[in-house]
Amino acid sequence: MTATQGLWNRLFETAQGLGFGMAGAVAANVDPRRAVLEGWLDQGMHGDMAWMAKDPERRTDPRLVLPEARAVVALFHSYHPGPLGTPLMDTPRGRIARYALGDDYHDVLVKKLRALSQVLDDPTARVYTDTGPFLERSVASRAQIGWTGKSGLLINPKLGTYGFLAEIVTAHELPLAEKPHPDRCGSCTSCLDVCPSGALVAPGIVDSRRCISYLTIEHRGPIPRELRPLMGDWVYGCDLCQEVCPWNRKAPVTEEPAFQPKPDRVFPKLVDLLLMSQEQFSQTFKGSAIKRTKRRGMARNAAVALGNAKDPATVPALRQALSTDAEALVRGAAAWALGQIRSEAAIKALEAAQATESDAEVYEEIQLALRGE
Ligand code: B12
């Protein structure tokens, strides 16, 4: 056995012990999908994620991060939580994407990656998980961890799609994967068919501007009106394209304690999310990726989901948000939701707010809601 192979074997074994279900290595050179990224950016498919458009060259060449880089180790760590059951019917409840039901994966995985990189004994090595300049799915498919499916997600035939991707860039030589993992989506189009907002504009290509995940997590302003009814009950991310993926049917559940779903994150009450104070929000989502939406984003999402649920019993909460929330973003979404419910109490709440609202955009939302638009 060569020294390179011996090092890889130790790395692979340690990775498995740490919970990484798959690992592979690729040469640290320019990503062949650079042109795909550039085309995606040119078409504005990143929406207002300005950070995505910053320096696409760096995102597709690890040597611009670490000049001595020879190899990139690609890793897959499952967060598959198993069946989540069905929501109670007591009051409208929201849905949070599975990846965010446990602890923040950045914190959990960076610790594991640091431990793993000890095996390399390379002081220059850098570790990343969604934190670095990579097309992580392209790296992982070249490293034979799986293929980029029609959903755009990296699919591993045994582990499915519910997994995080991570990388270690190293100056060491490692045995490299010879060719990318073959595409095994076949004629299946379940993910393309299920996406309610038409975000999968071509197989494997996601237009963020229509993706519920982007709208609920990354998009900062009001959700475009035509997309609100398509968001259903999702308040943080969306898993529809994964829920229908046949490769997830037999995938094993993760054994990582940090990724076990916290009970209060599975089907949370929408009214609670809408009316949370800043302090409650910070406390509830401490150590969770959900913090990214900020309180105002989560309250906006909860209001939109309440508009889709159309339950007249939630009018008092929406009225309270419309009349007292400090954020125009939340008041505007609450006005829309009341317009969707359209009960007598909802109309009264809108009329009362019309008399006092000072923000021009919220005022317009109230007008449109009263006109039933
Ligand atoms: C920006 C981003 C988003 C954006 C944009 C999504 C997107 N598809 O680009 C938004 C906010 C919408 C998003 C949503 C989600 N994300 Co995200 N996201 C990222 C991020 C930071 C960058 C992705 C990127 O570079 N996009 C630009 C495009 C051009 O790149 P790409 O999608 O990788 O492009 C591939 C395809 O176009 C494909 N391709 C090219 N040509 C062709 C042709 C054919 C025929 C096919 C099939 C494919 C194909 O090759 C490209 C390169 O791999 C990555 C982390 C990272 N640094 O990579 C995480 C990442 C992709 N996200 C992740 C996750 C978990 C999600 C969500 C599942 C979260 C959720 N439940 O709500 C959803 C899934 C949405 C989806 N179906 O893709 C994981 C995916 C893990 C996996 N198994 O694939 C990543 C890798 C983070 C991580 N470290 O684990 N995300």
Q: Mapping DSSP to helix (H, G, I), strand (E, B) and coil, where does residue 168 land?
A: strand
Given ligand 1 and candidates 26, 36, 45, 61, which is best to mutate, with the most ligand atoms within 8 Å of its CB?
36
* Distance of alpha carbon 165 from alpha carbon 146, whole angstroms: 11
Q: How far is CA 230 from CA 309, 317, 342, in A?
A: 12, 22, 19
Catalytic residue annotation = 130
Given ligand 1 and candidates 45, 80, 206, which is best to mutate, with the most ligand atoms within 8 Å of its CB?
206
pLDDT of residue 133: 75
The reply to whether ligand 1 has any atom less than 6 angstroms from the CB of 14 is: no
The reply to whether ligand 1 has any atom less than 6 angstroms from the CB of 128 is: no
The reply to whether ligand 1 has any atom less than 6 angstroms from the CB of 211 is: yes
Task: For 269-373, give the CATH class.
Answer: mainly alpha
* Distance of alpha carbon 355 from alpha carbon 221, whole angstroms: 24
The fraction of the chain above a pLDDT of 70, given in percent, is 100
Q: Which residue numbers in the chain have pLDDT < 50?
A: none
* Distance of alpha carbon 153 from alpha carbon 252, whole angstroms: 17
**Helix/strand/coil (H, E, C) string of 199-219?**
CEEECCEECHHHCHHHHHHHC
Q: What is the pLDDT of residues 126-158, one digit of tens each?
A: 999 987 778 999 999 999 999 999 999 999 999
Q: Which two tokens stand for residue 62?
A: 């690890």
Entry pTM:
0.97
pLDDT of residue 96: 98
H-type alpha helices, the chain: 3-17, 34-42, 50-53, 56-59, 105-117, 136-142, 190-194, 212-213, 240-243, 270-275, 278-284, 294-309, 315-324, 328-341, 344-356, 360-370
The ligand 1 atom at the shortest distance from the C-alpha of residue 155 is 83
pLDDT of residue 116: 98
Classify residue 262 by its DSSP letter: P
Residues of the chain with CATH 1.25.10.10: 269-373
